[in-house]
Amino acid sequence: MTAPQDPLSRLSTFSAEKHVVTIGTFDGVHRGHQALIGAAAARSRELDLELAAITFDPAPAAVLRPAQFDGAILSLTDKVQLLIAAGAAKVVVLPFTNALAALSAREFFGALVGQAAMQELFVGEAFALGHRREGTVDVLAGLGAEHDVRVVALTRIEDDGVIVSSSGIRRVIHAGDVNAASKMLGRPFHIAGEVIHGAHIGRTIGYPTANVMPPEGQAQLADGIYAAMAALPGGSKPLPAMTYIGTRPALNTGRRLIETHILDFDGDLYGQRIEVAFIDRLRADADFPSLEDLVAQLQRDEAATRRALVGVGLCDT
């Protein structure tokens, strides 16, 4: 019989050198996460130690409460890149499994001390570690005292009395409020994917689109038309774009797609990976009695898109 794998085996990738550690799901790497990592990075520089960010994939909620989990804000690749950009010297991704969830806070904390040579631990004030979230900040502080590890808990960031949180960002994404999402994230919400072939109807009506399938497991943005920015492979700057999310009721296809019309662009993007960042939601999805009515609305949408993108420097008018 094969022995069960140690759920913390990836901690063995740490060197013997001492570390400042921060740990969390970090979904979205939002402004609260950025503040936490920034504080931990500053402290690591003071101590001349590396900052290690430990995160989980999939998100714990996706394993423990799958029916209630609304999808990840970021792909794992994007999360790792943003954690490094925020100040982490290294990122260790622990596969979140039921075996990991069953570990006690004491077991987990001891492994961080023993395998990651943790000297200080930075977490958010609502963070909890271990089985049934038993390792609250107070419990972690007690474990830190036992191991001579300083535990620092940062208070959460609020905007107009609203706490910046991953769950709050998912809610506004589902509602299509990309302005609120951008404010909490500190950057626009985005999706990325490989451009696939569609029905090519957009090209016949003067609005060719780069189509991608909604990323599996990612939080779903509300259907509608959005002013957006499109980043192309090798591109020096994002391009102004108008993005549709929905099932195209006017064309009766039934399949949910993300279709991006890049303004003033003519090129072949099939098979290439593009990233679309959402700036403003212009309107909800709608049905139209004819293609002529659809085209007329798309022309109004394009004008609205250009106006919305003036503020981010992508359009003059």
Each residue's pLDDT tens digit, 184-205:
999 999 999 999 887 767 777 8
Chain mean position to CA 312: 21
Residue ranges of domains in the chain, CATH in brackets = 17-162 (3.40.50.620), 189-310 (2.40.30.30)
Sign of the CA dihedral 260, 263, 266, 267?
negative
pLDDT exceeds 80 at position 59: yes
* Proportion of the chain above pLDDT 90, given as a percent: 74
* Proportion of the chain above pLDDT 70, given as a percent: 96
The highest-confidence range among 104-113, 262-271, 289-298, by mean pLDDT, is 104-113
Which tokens go with 140? 């972690």
Question: Range with the lowest mean pLDDT among 38-52, 244-258, 271-285?
Answer: 244-258
* CA distances to 26, 71, 126, 208 from 115, in Å: 22, 31, 25, 53
Task: Give residue 10's pLDDT.
Answer: 83
Confidence band for 268, pLDDT divided at 50, 70 and 90: confident
Non-local (6+) Cβ contacts of 297 within 8 A are 286, 288
Q: Report yes or no: 52 and 80 within 8 Å, Cβ to Cβ.
A: no
Which of 291, 190, 278, 200 is closest to 241 using CA atoms?
Answer: 278
How confident is the model over 166-180, as pLDDT tens digits?
999 999 999 999 999
Task: Give residue 1's pLDDT.
Answer: 38
Which tokens go with 103? 């570990």
Q: How far apart are CA 313 and CA 159, in angstroms?
A: 25
Higher per-residue pLDDT: 251 or 295: 295
Sheet order of strands, 90-95 included? 90-95, 50-57, 19-23, 118-124, 150-154
Non-local (6+) Cβ contacts of 181 within 8 A are 169, 172, 173, 188, 189, 278
* CA distances to 52, 229, 236 from 187, in Å: 23, 12, 18
129 secondary structure, DSSP code: B
Mean pLDDT of the chain: 91
Helix, strand, coil % over all residues of the chain, rounded to 5: 35, 25, 40
pLDDT exceeds 80 at position 16: no
Question: Range with the lowest mean pLDDT among 80-94, 156-170, 182-196, 204-218?
Answer: 204-218
Non-local (6+) Cβ contacts of 273 within 8 A are 192, 193, 194, 195, 233
How confident is the model over 127-181, as pLDDT tens digits?
999 999 999 999 999 999 999 999 999 999 998 888 999 999 999 999 999 999 9
